[in-house]
Structure 1
Amino acid sequence: MNLYEFNSILSLNDRAQAVWDEGQFLSNRLDGEYKVCLYYMGDFFAEVWISSCNSDSSICHVRAFKSRRLLEPYLSPIDLSTLF
C-alpha cells in the first residue's frame, strides 16, 4: 500500500486496521492526553493517536506522512551520548 492508497481509505477504523495489518511498530510518544504510536508502512509512516483520557483508550486519529519534520518528536528522546 502506498501513501495515496492509505489516504484514500475514508474510515478511521479501516486506516487503523491497515496499520495493524501492514505496519511495523517503531516508537511511541506522549502528546498531551494522547499516546501517539509510530509505524513504518513501507514507503511512508503512520501515526495512531490514542486518547488516554477515556477508559477504553479509543483511537482518535490515524495519519500517514513522509515528512522528516514529523519524525522529529520521536528522535529527541534518543540518547546517543553513550555511543561516543
Structure 2
Amino acid sequence: MGLYEYMMLDETEQWNVLWDKGIYLTHYLGNNEKCNLYALGDFFVEVELNHKTEKIVGKSHFKAGHLLDKYSGNIIF
C-alpha cells in the first residue's frame, strides 16, 4: 500500500492498517512531545502521544522531510 492509498482510507481504517501492518522503528522524546515512528509500505507514520498520559493525540504520515529529521541517527535498518 502506498501513501496515496493510505490517505484515501477513513480514519478508523488508517489506524487498523497501521496496527496490523506497520513496523515500529523508533521513538522521539522532546519538550512536552513524545512520538513513535512506524514504517508502512514506502512511507512513515508518526504517532504523537501525550507526554504525561501516553494517550494518542494525533498522527502524521510522510515520505521524507522535516518530520523525519528528528529521528535521524535513531533508525537502524
- After TM superposition, the score normalised by the length of structure 2 is 0.76
Partner of 2:51: 52
**Does structure 1 conserve the Cα–Cα contact (< 8 Å) formed by 2:26 and 2:74?**
no
Q: RMSD in angstroms over aligned alpha carbons?
A: 2.1
Which residue matches 1:81?
A: none
Matching of residues 1-84 of structure 1 within 5 Å: 1-11=1-11, 13-54=12-53, 57-76=54-73
> TM-score, normalised on structure 1?
0.71
Structure 2 gaps of 5+ residues are none
Identify unmatched segments of 5+ residues in structure 1: 79-84
Aligned residues: 75
Larger of the two Rg values belongs to structure:
1
Q: Percent identity?
A: 33
Q: Where has structure 1 moved over 4 Å in runs of 4 or more? A: none
Q: Where is the strand percentage greater, Structure 1 or Structure 2?
A: 2
